[in-house]
Amino acid sequence: MPELPEVEEVRRTLEPVVIGAVVVRVRLVRRDYLTPPRAPLVRLRGRTIVATHRYGKKLFCRCDDGQTLMFHLGMSGRLESFPSHLPLPPHTHFIIDLNSGLQIRMRDPRRFGGVWYYPSFEKACAEEIQGVLGVDALHLTAAHFNHWSTAHGRLKARLLGQRDVAGLGNIYVDEALWLCGLSPLTLVRRLSPQHIEQLVKAIHLVLKKSLSAGGTTLRDYRNAAGQPGGFAASLQVYGRGGRPCFRCGDNLKMLVVAGRTTVYCRHCQKSR
Ligand SMILES: [Zn+2]
């Protein structure tokens, strides 16, 4: 599933295609791929796309009059640009024709993703970010976890939940926890200020490295130019259950935390 680095890479590669482009037509192939299903897409015609934004794993495209589309890639979603004469591949659910002759196509075989329409950017932020998501992971500081000293729950589940910090998923949580030596099962209220500092540093380091490699492609993920990311080769624990820890040589353990397969080293990542 695309997480912050992959969505940011899609945004970066989409931006040169869409900024300043005029929307010629918007087509919804599957009605259940859009929220609300009867959104007035026709009003986007003739509008100029002026900005792209990302918050957590959500990607926004804003027009000159404020109308905004929010894209969520889900498990297998791809947002890519193609010359409009190329045939539509299967599972293309949403298409934006631009005056440049390019099309933005959203493909999503598993359909866990979707497109949301908002009449204004303010409305999009109010519905999608405020009160829904924690701080974007790229702006995370130790102070954002101050409330954990009296909070319930275990570390991995809280990091996946998006309300404390937005943008992390299974891959980068496992990688960051291995890097800072914290068990995914640690109760968050037991973390010392020093642990929190180390956790924040590890999250930033893992995200920064992945961003510079263009994200992680396990299977489906491609950026808006159709290219895979190169970070999979740098994964230390994700997908390596049962294989030796790169730090201590012990076999990495697998367990299910918050419904997600979790890989960690019992020796290097102690419960607190
Ligand atoms: Zn280890």
Expressed in angstroms and rounded, the spacing between residue 149 Cα and the centre of ligand 1 is 27
> Among residues 3, 9, 128, 175, which one is catalytic?
3
**Average pLDDT in the chain:** 97
pLDDT average, residue stretch 124-137: 98
> Among residues 30, 47, 111, 260, which one is catalytic?
260
Q: Is 69 left (phi over 0), alpha (psi -120 to 50) or beta?
A: beta
> Among residues 2, 54, 184, 222, which one is catalytic?
2
Q: What is the pLDDT of residue 272?
A: 76
CA distance 77 to 79: 7
Which tokens belong to 259?
A: 């419904």
Q: What is the pLDDT of residue 220?
A: 87
DSSP per residue, 116-143: EEESSHHHHHHHHTTTT--EEGGG--GG
**pLDDT tens, residue by residue, 138-155:** 999 999 999 999 999 999
> Among residues 5, 9, 11, 57, which one is catalytic?
57
pLDDT average, residue stretch 206-210: 98
Expressed in angstroms and rounded, the spacing between residue 251 Cα and the centre of ligand 1 is 8
CA distance 160 to 176: 12
Q: What is the pLDDT of residue 270?
A: 86
Strand order in the sheet with 49-55: 34-35, 114-118, 68-72, 58-63, 49-55
pLDDT average, residue stretch 247-255: 97
Q: What is the pLDDT of residue 6?
A: 98
Expressed in angstroms and rounded, the spacing between residue 147 Cα and the centre of ligand 1 is 30
CA distance 98 to 89: 18
Expressed in angstroms and rounded, the spacing between residue 249 Cα and the centre of ligand 1 is 6
Expressed in angstroms and rounded, the spacing between residue 62 Cα and the centre of ligand 1 is 45
Beta strand ranges found along the chain (DSSP E): 23-28, 34-35, 49-55, 58-63, 68-72, 78-83, 92-98, 102-107, 114-118, 135-136, 165-166, 253-257, 260-264
Expressed in angstroms and rounded, the spacing between residue 268 Cα and the centre of ligand 1 is 4
Expressed in angstroms and rounded, the spacing between residue 245 Cα and the centre of ligand 1 is 5
Which tokens belong to 80?
A: 């890519």
Q: How confident is the model at residue 225 (pLDDT cuts 50, 70, 90)?
A: very high
The question of whether 3 is a catalytic residue gets the answer yes
Expressed in angstroms and rounded, the spacing between residue 59 Cα and the centre of ligand 1 is 36
Q: Are 174 and 263 in contact (CB under 8 A)?
A: yes
**pLDDT tens, residue by residue, 65-112:** 999 999 999 999 999 999 999 999 999 999 999 999 999 999 999 999
CA distance 45 to 23: 5
Q: What is the pLDDT of residue 28?
A: 97
Q: What residue ranges define each of the domains in the chain, with the CATH number in brackets?
A: 4-128 (3.20.190.10), 135-264 (1.10.8.50)
Q: What is the pLDDT of residue 33?
A: 97
Expressed in angstroms and rounded, the spacing between residue 248 Cα and the centre of ligand 1 is 4
